[in-house]
Amino acid sequence: MNRRTFFKWLGGLALSGAAMTGYAFGIEPGFMLRVQQYKLTPPGWPADFKLRIAVLTDIHAGEPYMGLGRIERIVETTNALKPDLALLLGDFSTGHRMITRQVPIKDTAAACAGLAAPLGRHAILGNHDWWDDRAAQKRQSGPSLYGDTLKAAGIPVYENDGVRLEHNGRPFWLLGLGDQLAFVRGRGRFTGVDDLDGTLAKVTDDAPIILMIHEPDAFIKVPKRVSLTLAGHTHGGQVRLFGYSPVVPSGYGNRFAYGHVVEDDRHLIVSGGLGCSILPVRFGVPPEIVLIELGG
């Protein structure tokens, strides 16, 4: 390789790197949106019981990446999918400092209240919703500003609680686990508000169960009695190449990083989420609405 060819190659490499960086920091997190679909009939779910579920998680509201207008467009896109049930799996707060303007939780909640589904919209909180609530952190206890605001907007929020719903005359349980990392105790130390046993104790019959959790690590203790567990939090690692995420906010690495996980006939779906935390970067895992079709 002569000198001229070398510098052409080096310049091309630099331009490619700049283009990839621009895409990862600008295009994918700020403009892209996909609908990720799953069709399954997990154990305990009747094969003839069809249910269409839309899942939104990790919105991390804040301009310029996730302004109010974009949240409203995501809600409109979700409504166009005509789900029977709309679920919000937490982390409504920003999650990083690289923003030009905050979007108040009151505005985010009002936008999410526009989700239209016959069985309603239901939510849990994520770690950032607790961490950004200074009063709750000071008390090291609830109530949560984010939870109260969502409820005021007409969105039920579940903390180790649930509800029995019916669709076409068929019952099922929707449960929501409290967050596992709610209170910061020190560097790398957290206390949760999660109570899996207490949550499952809300179930009073043999109808199938759908469980909402924010951090997927809780799945390790979820029993087979639960037909389907839904989680967010990881954002798919935000950077994902060939099915591998170099950095995953989970004690189990890539095991629960993203997608449909099946272990011991137990089913977990981890959404890549919509926003970003720590840094506004995504590569190979664009923001997504998850659409799940159960039964049939």
pLDDT in tens, 107-166: 999 999 999 999 999 999 999 999 999 999 999 999 999 999 999 999 999 999 999 999
For residues 238-242, average pLDDT = 92
Mean predicted confidence (pLDDT) in 73-79: 98
Measured distance CA(233)–CA(250) in Å, rounded: 9
16 vs 196: CA distance, rounded Å:
47
Decide: 122 and 163 in contact? Cβ < 8 Å: yes
Mean pLDDT of 197-201: 98
Query: Which pTM was predicted?
Result: 0.91
Q: How far apart are CA 107 and CA 98, in angstroms?
A: 20
The chain-wide mean pLDDT, for the chain, equals 91
In this structure, the strands spanning 170-176 and 85-88 are unpaired
Residues 272 and 258: beta-carbon distance below 8 Å: yes
Per-residue pLDDT at 96: 77
Q: Is the pLDDT of residue 98 over 90?
A: no
Band the pLDDT of 210: cuts 50, 70, 90: very high
Residue 167 neighbours by CB distance under 10 Å? 16
CA atoms within 13 A on the CB side of 19: 6
With 60 as the cut, is the pLDDT of residue 66 above it?
yes
AA letter at 60: H
Please name each of the domains of the chain with its CATH number: 32-294 (3.60.21.10)
Asked whether the CA dihedral 198, 204, 206, 210 is positive or negative, the reply is negative
Strand partners, 39: 293
Token digits for 211?
């469980």
- Predicted confidence band at 26 (pLDDT cuts at 50, 70, 90)? low
Whether residue 13 is predicted with pLDDT greater than 50 in this model: the reply is no
Specify the pLDDT at position 206. 97
- Above 90 in pLDDT, residue 279? no
